[in-house]
Homo-oligomer: A and B are copies of this chain.
Amino acid sequence: MDIVIFGSGNAAAVLGRKFKAAGHTILQVYSRNAAAATELAYEWNSESTNYKSTINKNADVYIIAVNDEAIGEITDGLKLPGKVIVHTAAAVPKEILKTVSEHYGVFYPLQSLRKEMITLPEIPVFIDGSDEFTKKKLESLAHSIANEKVVHAGDDARMKLHVAAVVVSNFTNHFYTLAEEYCRKEGLDFKLLIPLIEETASRVKNVSVKEVQTGPAFRHDKETIKKHLELLKNHPQLKNIYLLMTESIQQTT
Q: How far is the CB of A242 from chain B (nearest CB, A)?
A: 7
Within 8 A of B (CB), among A198-223: 198-205, 207, 209-210, 212-218, 221, 223
A122 within 8 A of B: yes
Contact in complex: A167, B178 (CB < 8 Å): yes
Residues of B within 8 A of A167 (CB): 175, 178-179, 182, 238, 241-242
The size of the chain A interface, using a CB distance under 8 A, is 85
Cα A21 to Cα B131 in complex, Å, equals 59
Within 8 A of B (CB), among A163-182: 163-182
Interface of A is mostly: helix
Partner among B124, B162, B252 whose Cβ is within 8 Å of the Cβ of A174:
B252
Partner among B151, B170, B204 whose Cβ is within 8 Å of the Cβ of A176:
B204
Residues of B within 8 A of A123 (CB): 195
Contact in complex: B182, A149 (CB < 8 Å): no
Contact in complex: B170, A210 (CB < 8 Å): no
Contact in complex: A173, B224 (CB < 8 Å): no
Q: What 1/0 flags go to A25-52 for Cβ under 8 Å of B?
A: 0000000000000000000000000000
Residues of B within 8 A of A171 (CB): 175, 241, 245, 249
Contact in complex: A164, B193 (CB < 8 Å): yes
Q: What 1/0 flags go to A96-122 for Cβ under 8 Å of B?
A: 000000000000001110101000011
